[in-house]
A and B are shown apart, each in its own frame.
Chain A
């Protein structure tokens, strides 16, 4: 079974702190994604990566950055945490399937990190 592991289930940080959210997958997936989930808004894409050292902005990248130095690890960085970044953060991964019209195989999600910024 695919395992996507997020380093923390719950995290409390202060405004202005630099925050690192870590995600590791064990299935040699090329693609990795960071979403945030807020009530009434569903899942919104922050950043994604299709290869090591590669990153692409999603729909809401402001206030975030990412790092992918190794294939299995995708880190989300909040440069200076703010209260409006209090949310559930979800990491996902998938295979790359360029032979199909789709770039992605089924997405597999981690358990999520619930971040509170006070």
Chain B
């Protein structure tokens, strides 16, 4: 089946720093989404981005479908950005998740 690899697995940053999270996938996909899971376990959809670039405040995402990767950028990190970030790809009606990047923002 399709492989979805996220890197880095863990990231610790000081408040105010910028970060880039990566998602690689092993096959062509119909779609890609980014999610943030907060410390209470709630999963929030950040971006629905099969290709191109989208921005929402301090967050932006870029998907290069032909090269099978997506990047999530977080600028001027805040402690509320802490949690786990997942990418999920859609293929053959299924939505498959990577294992996530755990981000810890220090005050």
Contacts and interface: CB of A to CB of B under 8 A. Distances in A.
28 contacts: A40-B99, A41-B99, A42-B99, A42-B100, A43-B86, A43-B97, A44-B97, A45-B96, A45-B97, A48-B95, A58-B94, A90-B43, A101-B30, A101-B31, A103-B90, A104-B95, A105-B48, A106-B45, A106-B48, A107-B35, A107-B45, A107-B88, A107-B95, A109-B42, A109-B44, A109-B45, A111-B41, A112-B42
Interface in B19-39: 30-31, 33, 35
Interface of B: 1, 30-31, 33, 35, 41-45, 48, 50, 86, 88, 90, 93-100
Interface in A67-118: 88, 90, 92, 100-109, 111-112
Contact of A88 (B33, B41, B96): B41
Q: What range describes how many residues of A lie at the interface?
A: 20 to 34
